[in-house]
Each structure stands twice: as structure tokens, then as C-alpha cells.
Amino acid sequence: MKYIHSYAFLLLVGIVLSSCQEREGTYFELLSPEKTGVQFVNEITENDTLNILESEFVYNGAGVAVGDLNGDGLEDLFFAGNQVDNHLYINKGELKFTDVSTAAGIQKPNSQLWSSGVNILDINLDGKQDIYVCNTLQKDSSLRHNLLYVNQGNDGNGNPTFTEMGKAYGIDDPSHSSHAQFFDYDNDGDLDLFVGVNLIEERYPNEFGPLVVDGSNPNRDKLFQNNWDETLGHPVFTDVSLQAGLLQDGYSHSTLIYDFNEDGWQDIYVANDYQSNDLIFINNQDGTFTNQAGKIFKHFSLSAMGSDVADINNDGAADIFVTEMQPYYNKRKKLFQGGSNYQNTILTERYGYNYQYPRNTLQLNRGTNPETGLPVFSDVGMFAHVQETDWSWATLFADFDNDGWKDLYVANGFPKDVTDRDFSDFRAFAGKLVAQEELLAAIPEVKSPNFLFRNTGKLNFEDVTGDWGLKVPSFSNGAAYVDLDQDGDLDLVTNNIDDPAFIFENKSNSPNHYLRIKLRGAAKNPDAFGASATITTGEQRQKLHLLSGRGYLSKTENTLHFGLGEQSSVDALVVTWPDGKETRMENVAADQVLTLDHADAREPSATPAATSPAVFKSVAGTHNLRYKDDSFDFIDFNFQRTIPHKFSQYGSSMAVGDVNGDGLNDVFFAGSGGRSQTLYLQGGDGRFIAQKMSLKTDPEQKEEDTATLLFDADGDGDLDLYIVRGSAQFKAGNPLYQDALYLNDGTGAFTLAEGALPEMYANGSCVKAADIDADGDLDLFVGSRVLPSSYPLPDRSYLLRNDTEGGNVTFTDVTEEYCAALVEPGLISDALWTDFNNDQQPDLILAGEWMPIRLFRNEGGKFTEVTEGSGLAAQTGWWNSLAAADLDQDGDMDYIAGNFGENIYYQCTSDEPIRVYGKDLDKNGTIDPLISCYWQDSLGDRYEYLYHPRADLVKQFVGIRKKYNTHGEYGEATVPEMFSDEELADALILNAKWMKTSVIENLGNGQFAMRELPVEAQLAPIYGILTKDVNNDGLSDILLVGNDHGMEVQQGRADAFGGLVLLNQGSFGFRPLSIAESHFAVMGEARGLVSLPTATGEELILASQHRDSLKVFAYNTAPNQSLVSLQPNEVKAVYHLKNGQTQVAEFYYGDSFMSQKGRYVAKTDQMQRIELLDGKGEVSRVIEAGTLQ
């Protein structure tokens, strides 16, 4: 058998070496066992009782640990074995190793022990490295005791020898231990022990049920406290798991130890398999922990495997990557994916589970949430293109090319893929009819190359697996990085099932520099676990943290490795030791191994670094604005299974205006189905009083308010109320979709204006008002989105002319007459009346799904579409929202357009768009929507495939079952192969090529330029948009809110956004503020965004959230500004700034998505004079410097 493994491995090496010769720039070379002397193979032999059908964990693999075990300065390798024995290889230099396992005494005391995770550390403080091995799987607890090999020193040949002393130290734990971490949880200076436990009980692990949080489940992790015994001369560990609060059950695969909330105490992140929640135990500083996962993370990987922590974007905050099993090419995807099941979402919420999805997650640390005092993370894995690496295990962040950015390595593979849907179907059909041996033989394998992604420095990763020489198929589990040959770059080692371990030598000849730091810790923690190092080179900052284990079941080198790129020195180095002391150095030369000793450390400076106050503060309670949306969870997918997201989840709308005529701005909130509306009336002290309203005609209030608008419909000088009805919850044409107009009597009492509107049984989405025909009254555009249950067909929209006369309020549908293209302009989400060509007439801009931003020019009250030739026609997207500002101070309006973002599965380009095909394929009277996108095939070539799992498509269009009998056949079929041109001849086919939230520069003469906003604006769908000069520099800045929790379940919640402030830097450059800088934190499913002045002169910003509480913000430091209310006829302002610049602004009746902000102007100390203009462009008022009128 050994000969067979060696032969196959040499064949792989030959393939890799030949490819290296053909390609320049390859960084790694796979070294053969014959060259290195590392012959270890984690070989697993199945039998009738030990196989994947009897034990799901049989192929979970084992780890590898790195450490200098004989004290010669070279890193040695320890491999854990499952069925085979553990092995120790001593590094002899020049990448040559000697197997000393037998002489060292590290072989298993019983051959039936099933070893998994491994750590190396100096546990007894004698200056020699010891080895801790976790054992698992076996049902007999006597075969699961963990092992501690205490280093006795070198023998006569210079090789280390060991004595197993786990029981004497109190850590021979017989739980189903997968891995361990040594760290100082109680800040007493010594290393305590966390043991991850992974035990499959009788209950199916993906079955929902009450969470066990009382410590009664044996499938919970363990914490052991280190207590030094002077008599014995070594520590004895005590199980303190229950009193420390480690009470939750789970299936622990990996653990990260890090001070996530930066309070000086180490916290614990646990990656759990199956349905069990991932956990983050925040250290309470009193010997106990509290799981805060639901407050810190928005969702997790479902079957979480390996994990690592590092600062991927060099902002000083630790980010987290967790592996899962999502395949990366289409056939494997379709073999892996089951049908979408919204019931899982319901059960997740019912039982208190966290949201979890079957893909890798890259959790970006956004800083501290000012409301909770805890860190908050956002999954950006899809944006970074690292969400799918197949059946993955170890993952490691390290700078493999020394360019100053941490790259990402992922080990994967699985010998028996029991998740294969075709095998599952075969097993369900024939499982009881065939022998177990035949079933086992029918299970396919997943043997694929491990992945290496290069960090581009733009929150994005590039797959360089092939280019860097690692494209070798394997079943890899544990992995470690280490500079084995001491040449200043990192090599890779993996523990493989049924193949020799990989040793990849880093052969980079890059001119990039490096700095390596070895730490000699304090007496009770000589390995310095828990220490961190931060370096600064120019404007670049990097941070690394030393853990006792990382990735999966493994331990990497203890040296902290920094790539420096072109920098030949480090400006500043700060090592923060576990006890809080610091070592500081300046002007450190590159390309060296620097050894630092805790004995030379000093107490940190008592003076904290100066920080500027955050821009905003939360003031909801101060002003009594305590609104919370409680919309019912309607399941759109029950009617069309293959739609990409819900259309019933866009509440709640906000409209700001003076409702009762007291000169103060009030706030109206729309009412979802079964709910009444709410009006918040402002008092003279700037506080609000809530008033419930019932503005629905159905006895059960079934009408679903979508958009709302306060405007003077009848010309009597007060604000009337228009309510759009929609949400796609009823059949098309249902009278419950009828919009409603309520007239104000001047005191805030509203009466339904029956007959004022035409019959409008459409699924409305927005309403905006402007005087389109210059007759002195306000006309309306009412946009509609999807034709209910007929996605992607649009419902009709309306252009309503105000024909009110003599007290008879009438709005007439003039859509066909004024612009036929507006009857069905698309799946409209937002609209904006704006004068984009400076002719003093309100033009119309539309945003919607599967369409470009559409432009309609006002030509004397009628409209002509001018999108083609404008520069915007090619950027079809899933546009959500619009806002306007003169961003470049050139005298015309520029625009901000909220799109769906790029942190989604639907990745697209102009050459590879995503598409939707809409047709009644099975002729049953309903539209079958099919969404496609471009994905890889098994060879890496990209084709157009359907997005949907086969099970979903069969339920939507049963004919696909006959055409493709298996998931594999379905996964191989491209869209052109699946459907002929004849079959799609009369289908509605739409595409999206641009998903980036953008600013649109108005170039004049009907020309526009689309410019993407920074990365931070692309991480989730954007809805509410507000422009405001938040830093008083004369430039309009941008505030954004977003997220969409109504995505179809394969995609999962698009929830990575947390609110964003973009500071305008001029020339269409924007600087994103961190949450710490802005305190503008809106973490939920945000919708509307408005601003308004209070009676006390304060300016408030309100952000509504679907099924969550309203967020209210005010400036932390009151800006030097005066807020001046506008007259009803004032629609534009010209700001003459003190620096000589001129800036224009428009004021609307209906602003961004589901939003109507207050109509006022902010006069700042940057302004010399403000001219307020009416709809004809004539000056209505002039506000000079120093005046308030």
C-alpha cells in the first residue's frame, strides 16, 4: 500500500512540476516524500462497522502541528493519525526530515485511538515544547482519552523524547474531543485549556428543537483552569466549564481565541457543524463567559468547519473566515443543493437559532456597535469571491507573497460525498435492496485541489491556486504554514487522507520584503500565546495575533510573519504582550527574524490616543420616537418558488411634514397588512407624541400601505395624504390594491377623498409629486413593481394630472396621453422628479429591477424617454432607490442610485449578465421565472446556467424532471442546451449587468457618467439615501442604509450593511467613515431615511427598519447651522459659498426609497447667500449671511 501511495504521489508531483515549467510566476513547489522524508499518510480503511454510513465523522481527518521540539532552531512536524499512528518528523534543514516517532515515544498507547487535533506548547514551563493530542470517534470512552506528551529532553542522537502524562495533568479528557486551544482566560498569566467537543447524538443533528443552554448536553465544549502544583512541579487542570458558563451544545470543529471586544480579556469563537449555532463567548472578566453570537454576527456558515482570524483589510480589526461545503462549479452545486425550504427560516426564528447558510463566510469586523458596546461583523464572502471552495476544512490567513496583505488558504476534499443528491436519491430508492458494500461503492468522492486566494487589497481575493502551483487534487484536512527552510517566506504543510502529506515549498523569487518576529513570553506563558504585534509602514498598518492553534485541528508556527511589499523597513513596531505590557521599536530593518523578550516590555502609556467625537449620536428615546414596524411575515415563495426575493417586505414608509399646521414637522408611518398607521406629532419641546390612525376601508385592515406622500392635493394650504397600496400579497387586480387620497382639514384630521383617484388596482411601490405642467398644482407619478404572482412581468404605473377645481379634488390618469412608455416602465422601485437638464421643468428618473436608470425629459408637460444615448442605458441592474445633490458644485443635479450591491451570488458583468426568463413554460396559467448566471464547469470554463436547484425548478416547472432525470444531468446543462430558441421565443428576457451602488455625474447636454461608490457601499442592497453636508465643508455627503432579509433561501439574508456615511472629497471621490467615526449604526433591514428640524433647532435623521425599531440620530456636536422651512412653491436653492463656489439643491415632494424628508434648508457658516427659487426658476426669497428668513 505504501508503494501505491508513493507512486500516485510521484505522478502528481510530476504533473505539478511540468506545469511549473510551462508557467512563469508559480510560487509553490510540491515536494515528494522521497525528497523530504515525510512519508506520513492518514490512511483510512472502511469496514462494515466503520464507514461513512455508520459514522459521519470517519472522514473528518486529522491535524498537523509545527514546533521546535528538539531546540535546534528548526521547525519540526507532528502529524496526527486517525486509524494510523501519530508521527513526529524532525527538521534536519534544507527541507529534509527524519521520522523519530518510535524513538520519541509519541506513538499511541492503544492503536484504536482515533487522533484528531494537535497542539504544541511548553506546558510545564521547562523550556521544552510538549504535545497535546485530542482523541475522538470511538464509542468506548477508554479509547477517547486525550494525550499529553511531555518533552523529557533530547536523547543521545539529538532527538526529543516524551512521556505521556495527560492523566497526571488532569487533561486526559474522554469527551469526543476534536481540537484544543491553550489560552489565559482568567488573566492570571498561565495557560488554561479549551477543548472542542464534537459528538453526534441520537437526534439528527440538523433537526430543529429547543436549544440546550443549561450544560446538560454531553455535546458541549470544555474549559480547564490551569492550577500550578508546586509539589508535582507542573500544572494540574480543573474542569470549570459549567461555572464558566460554557453551557451551549454544538458540534465543535474549530475555535478561535481573540480579544474581540478589545477589553484586555480573551474571548472564544466556536465554529459548530450542522444546525447548531456558532458561538462567541465574550469574557465577562470574572471567570465566566456569555454567548453573544446573535448580537455580534448577522448570520453564520451552516456546517462550519475550519476557521481563522486575521486583519484582512489592514484596518486594525480582526476579521474571521469560516469554511463550509458549497461547491464552486455548477454540476457539483446542483448535486449539493437541496430544494429551498422557507420553513427552516421560520423554525430558526421560533427556536432561537442564528441564521445559517451552506457556504463559507468571511466576517468583516465593522468595529464596535455603539448601541451594544460589542463588535459587529458582516459576512462579505460573496463580495470577496471566497464563499465556495467545496468540502472545506482548514483555512489559514497568511501573507504568502509578502506584499503586505494576508492571503487565504483553504484545504478541502472528502472521500465519500454523502451529500450528493443523486446518491441520496439512489439510497432512498434502493438502499434496502442492495448490500452496504454496494452503497458505499456508489458514493462519489470529492477530490479537488486546495484553494489559495491572493488578497488584492480591495476587500477582494483572487483565486491563484493554479497560477501558484497548488492545483493538486487531495483529501486535505489539517494544515499549517511555516517557514521550514528559513528563507523568509511561508511554506505549506497539509495532512491528507489516503495520500502522503503535502509539503509545498514557497519558491517565490519576489523582491518583496518581510519581517519575522519571535516572542519569548513571560514565565508562565513562555510561548506568548495571546500576544499581538502591530507594524506601521507609511500609511499601511498590519496586525498579527499569536494563537496556540488555528485553521482546523492544527497549529502553525509561533513566529509572526509580516510581508512588507516594497518597504525595506518598518516605521513603527508595537508588541502587546498578554499582560498588557508593550514593546515599542522604530525604524526596524526588513528581511530579518527579530526576537523580542517579555522581560524588556514596559507598561503602556497611560494617556489614551486622542480621538475625535463621532459625527452622530442615537436620540430615539430623547425625542420619544419609539416606532417599531411589526409587519407580518408573508411568504412570497409559496406562489412563485423561483423568484429571487420577496416583494412583500419593503415597509415601512415614512413621510415628514407639518400635518396639523403648527409650523413643526411631524412624521407619518404607513401601516402594513392588518396594522394601522401611526402619526408622530411634534411638540414645542422637540418631543413627539404617537397617535394611532385607521386609514383603511377593509374591516380587517388588509390593505398593505407601501409608499406615502404628504402634499397639498386640493390647494387649501395644508398637507393631504396619499397612500400607495401594494406588496404583492393579493392576486392581480384585487381592489385592496386601490390607492387612497386623504384630505386634511388643517388640524391633522384626514378624510378619504372618494372618487378623487381613478381605479388603480396595481401593486404600487412609490409616489412622487411635482407640478409637471406649470399650472400651479402638484401632479403625481405612481410607480408599480411586479404583477402579483407573475414575476418578472411588471404591473402598470400611472401619471396622474391634478385636475382639482372648485373644491372638487380630481386626479386624472394621463399616462397614455403624456408618455405611453410610463404605462409599464418596468419593475419600479423608486422615482424622482428632478430638473436634470436645467430647463426649469421637472423631469422624471426611474429606478427598478432588471432595467437601467431610465430618464424621461419633460417637454411642456409631456415626456420623452432619453435613456438611450445618455450614457446610462448599458447599466442594467436591480436599482432600488434614487437621491440627488450637486455633488461637484457645477450647478446641475447629480444623482445617487442605490443598487443591490455585489455581495450576492448573482455576480455579473457586461459580458456575463444575470438574466431572468419569464414565460408560462408548463402552460398552467402562471409565469415560470427562471434566473440564470454564469458559473464555472468542472474544467473552469464559464457558461450560462440556471441558478435554481433542481428540486425548486421541478416544483415550478415540472417538465424539467422528464428532461433531466438526475441532479448531475441538470447541473451539466447550460441554458441554451436546456431550452431551445423556439421555447423561449415569446419569453420576457431581462438582464442585469451592473449591481453597484453608484453616483451619476451630470455632464450636461443630456449626458451622464456612472461612477461606482466605494467598496463599503457595495456590501448589501441600498434603500434609503440622504444627502447632507455632515462635516460642514460645503460639499454634499451621502448617508446610506440598506439590507434585504427577504432573499430566497439559497442566497440567504443580504444583511452585511450597517449604515454608512460617505464624506465627499471632491471630484466624485468619497471617504467612508467607520462606525466608530460616525456612530451611524443601522444594522437591521433598513428602508426609509429622512431628516427633519425640531422645534429646538436640532436636526434629526430617521432610519426605518422592516420588522424592527426606528433609529433616530442627531449630530453629536451641534453644527453651526440654521434650519429654515421652505414655502410650498420653493423647489430649488442656489447656495453661494464663501469660497466662491456655487451649489444648487432641489427640494421634493417624495425623496428616496419609501421616504419623504422635511422641506427645509440648512444655512451653514460656509454659505454667504442662499437664493430660493420657485418652479419657474424665479427667485422667491434670498437669505443673506447672518439672517434666518
**pLDDT tens-digit map of 779-792:** 999 999 999 999 99
What was the pLDDT predicted at 194?
99
Give, for 565, the enclosing helix (H) or strand (E): strand 560-565
Tell me if 478 sits within 8 A of 494, measured CB to CB.
Answer: yes
Q: Residues 670, 802: one domain?
A: yes
Residue 439 in 3-state DSSP?
A: helix
> What is the chain's alpha carbon radius of gyration, rounded to the nearest angstrom?
32
Q: Residue 217 gets which letter from DSSP? A: -
Q: Where are the alpha helices (DSSP H) in 188-286?
A: 241-244
What was the pLDDT predicted at 612?
85
Q: Residue 25 gets which letter from DSSP? A: T
How many Cβ atoms are within 10 Å of 379's Cβ, its own excluded? 31
Q: Residues 752, 859: one domain?
A: yes
What was the pLDDT predicted at 206?
81
pLDDT for 957 beyond 90: no
Residue 66 in 3-state DSSP?
A: strand
Q: Residue 127 gets which letter from DSSP? A: S
Domain span at residue 274 reads 2-324+359-520
Task: Name the E strands within 385-425.
Answer: 392-398, 407-412
pLDDT for 676 beyond 80: yes
Residue 305's CATH number: 2.130.10.10
pLDDT for 242 beyond 60: yes
What was the pLDDT predicted at 433?
86
What was the pLDDT predicted at 606?
76
Alpha carbons 959 and 979: distance in angstroms, whole number: 11
What was the pLDDT predicted at 205?
82
Least reliable range by pLDDT among 545-549, 647-651, 1177-1181: 647-651
Residue 584 lies in a domain: no
> What mean pLDDT is predicted for residues 321-326?
98
pTM: 0.96
Tell me if 1024 sits within 8 A of 1154, measured CB to CB.
Answer: yes
pLDDT band at 212 (very low <50, low <70, confident <90, very high): confident
> What mean pLDDT is predicted for residues 464-488?
97
What was the pLDDT predicted at 5?
47
Q: Residues 501, 621: one domain?
A: no
Q: Residue 515 gets which letter from DSSP? A: E
Tell me if 1075 sits within 8 A of 1050, measured CB to CB.
Answer: no
Cell of 498: 489516503
What was the pLDDT predicted at 929?
97
Residue carrying the nine cell digits 412622487? 768
Report how far apart the first and last C-alpha atoms of the chain are (Å, whole number).
92
What was the pLDDT predicted at 1186?
62
pLDDT for 22 beyond 60: no
Cell of 648: 412583500
* Amino acid present at 257: I
Alpha carbons 793 and 798: distance in angstroms, whole number: 16
Chain-centroid distance of CA 190 in Å reads: 36
Residue 566 lies in a domain: no
Q: Which of 492, 520, 548 is the last residue of a domain?
A: 520
Residue 581 lies in a domain: no
What pairs with residue 163 in β-bridges?
150
Alpha carbons 61 and 80: distance in angstroms, whole number: 9
pLDDT for 486 beyond 60: yes
The pLDDT tens digits of the residues spanning 401-442 come to: 999 999 999 999 999 999 999 999 999 988 778 999 999 999
Q: Residues 772, 894: one domain?
A: yes
- The residue that leads in pLDDT, 764 or 1166, is 764
> What mean pLDDT is predicted for residues 260-279?
96
Tell me if 67 sits within 8 A of 75, measured CB to CB.
Answer: yes
Angstrom CA distances, 641 to 637, 730, 795, 919, 951, stand at 5, 16, 19, 14, 10
What was the pLDDT predicted at 611?
78
Cell of 406: 494576508
Is the peptide bond preceding residue 652 cis, with omega within 30 degrees of 0?
A: yes
Cell of 371: 448601541
The pLDDT tens digits of the residues spanning 1052-1061 come to: 999 999 999 9
Alpha carbons 395 and 409: distance in angstroms, whole number: 5
Q: Which of 431, 623, 402, 579 is nearest to 1098 (CA)?
A: 623
Show the 3-state SS of 955-1000: HHCCHHHHHCCCHHHHHHCCHHHHCCCCCCCCCEEEEECCCCCEEE
Residue 1149 lies in a domain: yes
What was the pLDDT predicted at 1188?
43
> What mean pLDDT is predicted for residues 916-929?
94
Residue 925 lies in a domain: no
Alpha carbons 195 and 880: distance in angstroms, whole number: 47
pLDDT for 1088 beyond 80: yes
The pLDDT tens digits of the residues spanning 838-857 come to: 999 999 999 999 999 999 99
What pairs with residue 411 in β-bridges?
none
Q: Residue 821 gets which letter from DSSP? A: G
Alpha carbons 86 and 96: distance in angstroms, whole number: 19
pLDDT for 719 beyond 80: yes
Alpha carbons 467 and 452: distance in angstroms, whole number: 10
Q: Which of 520, 554, 583 is the last residue of a domain?
A: 520
Give the count of alpha carbons within 13 A of 525, CB side only.
26
What was the pLDDT predicted at 1187?
54
- The residue that leads in pLDDT, 1167 or 606, is 1167
pLDDT for 279 beyond 60: yes
Alpha carbons 527 and 65: distance in angstroms, whole number: 14
Residue 594 lies in a domain: no
Q: Which of 493, 488, 507, 506 is nearest to 559 (CA)?
A: 488
Alpha carbons 728 and 455: distance in angstroms, whole number: 43
The pLDDT tens digits of the residues spanning 77-128 come to: 999 999 999 999 999 999 999 999 999 999 999 999 999 999 999 999 999 9
What was the pLDDT predicted at 200?
76
pLDDT band at 21 (very low <50, low <70, confident <90, very high): very low
Q: Which of 491, 520, 549 is the last residue of a domain?
A: 520
The pLDDT tens digits of the residues spanning 163-185 come to: 999 999 999 999 999 999 999 99
Residue 532 lies in a domain: no
pLDDT band at 551 (very low <50, low <70, confident <90, very high): very high
Angstrom CA distances, 281 to 173, 253, 258, 904, stand at 21, 16, 10, 29
What was the pLDDT predicted at 211?
86
What was the pLDDT predicted at 753?
98
What was the pLDDT predicted at 14?
47
Alpha carbons 937 and 1134: distance in angstroms, whole number: 56
When divided into structural domains, the chain yields a total of: 2
Tell me if 852 sits within 8 A of 833, measured CB to CB.
Answer: no
pLDDT band at 1166 (very low <50, low <70, confident <90, very high): confident
> What mean pLDDT is predicted for residues 1137-1141?
91
Residue 304 lies in a domain: yes
pLDDT for 3 beyond 50: no
